[in-house]
Chain A
Amino acid sequence: MSDLTKQTSGEPSTIERVEITVNGQTVQARTDKPLIQACVQAEVEVPHYCYHPGLTPEGSCRICQVEVQQGKMPARVMVACRTPVMPGMVVNTETENAHDARRECLEFLLKNHPLDCPICDKAGECTLQDYSFAEGQGEGRSVEPRRKLEKRKDLGDVILLDQERCILCTRCVRFMEEVPKSPQLCVAGRGSHSTIETWNDTPLSGNYQGNLADVCPVGALTLKSFRFKARVWNLTKTASSCGECSRGCATTVEVLRKGEVTRIRPRHDEDVNGWWICDTGRFALDAFSLADRLVGTLLPSASRGWDATSVEDGLQIASDMLTTGDKPLIIASPWLTQEEGGELLALGQKINAQVAFVSTASNDLADDVLHTGDPGPNRRGLSDLGLKAMTAEEILHTASEHSTVLCIGERVGRLLGEGEAEGFNGLPTGARVLLFDCELPEAPTEGNSPIDIAIGLPSSVERVGHWVNIDGLRRNILQARPAPAGVWNTLRLLKHLHELLTNREVQS
């Protein structure tokens, strides 16, 4: 487990709790966390900008004002993010004084804010908007000119900074210091001349820059790749898990009008990823592209092209192939879910096949934050089920002993071509090759197609199931959009195939 997840995982048994009252509810509040966390526990929302549960509290935005009464002292308005929890505190977030304090604070924050919400990517999920809506007054009283600063400051490949929108909460500064431990951002200047900057305008580096756009409570730090791509209220959001490494970070997959995945963002999971995700996972949008998808069934035609047919017919042909010849070899992708893996094992037993999955080669992205460097999200789960892990080379070597090879799962075709392995061209000539994948591998440059049948599968944003991550934690993937027409759910497909094979057995 990485440092980060260790810090945030589980609750140590020594945590002290005391009883306090929040808006009339009794709460057993942790003494090692600031008061705002006790409010969260009581499901009371306290507006906050500089506070982020995954970062050291700073207490500078001053918006999280709540009224607190302690002992015989008169009730006082104080910031919830820097106030330690004390036994017997009586907290009220809704008193007039607390609202007034927050309203005043908002007026200050909005004084120089450009209010360019109509063209701001953050609009709709901006807490400056939300809290102004909840607390603020309808009109600003400032008649002074607003601060003119850089509106399009380039911070490298990932992030663009709008200094005018910035409210100087310094979450971004603390994020870079505390999470990837790579302090690259700072506050430059003083007072009303403060701006967020990198040293000498050096571009940001590292695999965690995307989180800056998430931690920014306003539209100051935005993802270059998401700029002007979508209005966030048009995105359908689904809780899922990232498949780019065996950490399996909790994500929210955001799909624009049931079409392309437009954004992937981290979702809080204390034991897996905390609040963060790496850029590799965040920007793996191409993996879910709807272009060039394998749909229905394709059979190689005489003219070196493909003939299309339905999945139903395709499975009939597949069942014929799997039952002729000797012991087939089934190669799974580590993107298969536990449920699909189990079904595949049952199917393998039925036809007495050897079942293995592709052990993906480690990449150089491993770090001590989140990325494990192992691109197979369900390696641990499939191994636990009893599937054998084999590298692409080992698989191609073993395949020579088999006359039928079924390759199944998202990206399986691509994985077989990894490293030194030659992919489908490396499979024995004359063997029957069945490919169930989201895409067709690149066409061979000469000769006939080594693939005898190809059937389309849904990608991991189009399926439901579980993956087991590197630490043995079982996590959901959920369907964020329907699979393209003509693509069957993997489980349905496996069950149907299983049925066909059973019927065939009965008939014979």
Chain B
Amino acid sequence: MSHETYLLSRMERGDSHTLAGYEAQGGYAALKKILSEGTPPKDVTDVVKESGLRGRGGAGFPTGLKWSFMPNEEQDSRTRYMAVNADESEPGTCKDRVLMERDPHGLLEGCLIAAWAMSLHGVYIYVRGEYRMSYRRLEEAIQEARAAGLIGKNIQGTDFSCEIHMHKGAGAYICGEETGLMESLEGKRGHPRPKPPFPAGFGLWGQPTTVNNVESIFNVPFILERGADWFKAIGSKKSSGNFLCCISGHVEKPGVYEVPLGTPASTILNEHAGGVWRGHNLRAWIPGGSSTGFLRPEIIDTPMDHESLKEVGSMFGTGAMIILDQTASVVHSALVLMDFYEHESCGQCSQCREGTQWLAQVFQRIHDGQGRMEDIDLLSDISNGMAPGKTICALADAAAIPTHSVIRNFRDELVEYVQAGGHTAVSKKRALPMETV
């Protein structure tokens, strides 16, 4: 653990969530520097672009590039917004929560710098409904920052004004999809919008909008303070910086660990999380949240970055690793995931609405011992009908990818379930009793 952990660095102090605690550790310096020097907004965006920061919400889209899609202010005088996606609900993911609960001012500073860079009129933070403490901490932080002249009109005595508003989600995974989030913010059902139009042209209330993940924005003050080159030097070639890895499942020390992008998954598992628990063997692992699929234990040395995981047929996603040991059933875990996707599909698109239900039903049958050999091909065909890119948003893909991964990587277990007659029969055969995550 030789690397610097800048993201979590301030949290050692008990008062890291207060303005005093934040400022005592150099907080708001990057913002104040930009404001006092009057750094041109474009230069700020360029630094972020140059740093190679990629979105930490799942898709890994370059943050600076996203910012530069906002229309030129002189040509387009519409009100401009940013929505911060704090609706963290990808199964296995809990990194934004740590940041919001323990370092809310870091997020606010990032928001204000983004607001300066994109000449925003307002920022909305969409917080997952269950994250009550995050919401409360952020709310307190906003009050403190406003009282200190950091949010509101004429920030720090300059012409720069920016409001930060909060919104509480009501428990829908789909509201974490950027356009679903905007619909929800507008007070409508969280139905993702077809793209185009893209949010930068037609976002919140039809105005230019950028949607960024909490962790992405949280990185911004560090980049501005220390420079793009510093940031680029961390991590792998095309994936810069540290990321927060939430590791859960059958590990000794589940938690949120800060590591550079490109750190091998095995290092995170063994050196940070204490390895697979109870000295068990690894059965399967999910690299970046439930949508990224089940991978074989043989490739646990894969570096955790966008490129390497793409090579092994998966995705970096949110960087949330889920570890399954030898007692776990991949089929059962897949069933749990499919039930989740069925429950969370918004129901707009035919393939997703019917497909997620169908996948869950087929997995349930296989699990219950009513599976047929042809169901394995059927699962594959259903997933091919749902994704990629066949629906408005990526929820259908999120259900199809794990299904494909089970067929590709754990076909033997599917066959075992079908032949042996379901979960009960398979657990009897296994040396250790099966548990589920």
Contact = CB atoms under 8 A, between A and B. Distances in A.
A168 B385 contact: no
B contacts with A: majority SS: helix
Contacts of B353: 108, 168, 191-192, 194
B93 interface: no
Contact of A141 (B191, B342, B348, B378): B378
Contact of A109 (B194, B343, B354, B384): B354
Given A59-B392, A141-B378, A190 B345 contact: yes
A168 B390 CA distance: 17
A190 B172 contact: yes
B347 A192 contact: yes
A60 B349 contact: yes
Contact of B354 (A60, A111, A189, A190): A111
B358 interface: yes
A142 B357 CA distance: 11
B391 interface: yes
Given A61-B350, A168-B347, A190-B345, A105 B385 contact: yes
A312 interface: no
Size bracket of the B interface: 20 to 34
A82 B194 contact: yes
Interface residues of A, number: 31
A187 B358 CA distance: 21
A160 to B, nearest CB: 22
Contacts of A167: 350
Contacts of B194: 59, 79, 82
A189 B351 contact: no
B355 to A, nearest CB: 6
Interface in A185-210: 187, 189-194
B356 to A, nearest CB: 7
Contact of A60 (B344, B361, B392): B392
A191 B351 contact: no
A58 B347 CA distance: 13
Contacts of B390: 62, 65, 77, 101, 104
Contacts, number: 85
Nearest to A145: B361
B350 A105 contact: yes
Interface string A158-178: 000000000110000000000
B358 A142 contact: yes
Interface string A76-98: 01010010100000000000000
A107 interface: yes
A364 interface: no
A192 B356 contact: yes
A194 B346 CA distance: 8
B14 interface: no
Interface string A44-65: 0000000000000011111101
A452 to B, nearest CB: 67
- Among A61, A63, A104, A194, max chain B CB count under 10 A is at A104
Nearest to B351: A108
B172 A108 contact: no
Contacts of B352: 191
B167 interface: no
Contacts of B189: 187
B196 interface: yes
Contacts of A187: 189, 347
A105 B353 CA distance: 11
8 contacts: A60-B348, A60-B392, A101-B390, A104-B351, A104-B390, A190-B344, A193-B347, A194-B353
Interface of B: 172, 189, 191, 194, 196, 342-358, 361-362, 365, 378, 381, 384-385, 390-392
Given A60-B392, A62-B349, A111-B354, 20 more contacts: A58-B348, A60-B349, A79-B194, A104-B385, A105-B351, A105-B385, A108-B351, A108-B355, A111-B357, A111-B358, A141-B378, A141-B381, A142-B358, A168-B350, A168-B353, A187-B189, A191-B342, A191-B357, A192-B342, A194-B347
Interface of A: 58-63, 65, 77, 79, 82, 84, 101, 104-105, 107-109, 111-112, 141-142, 144, 167-168, 187, 189-194
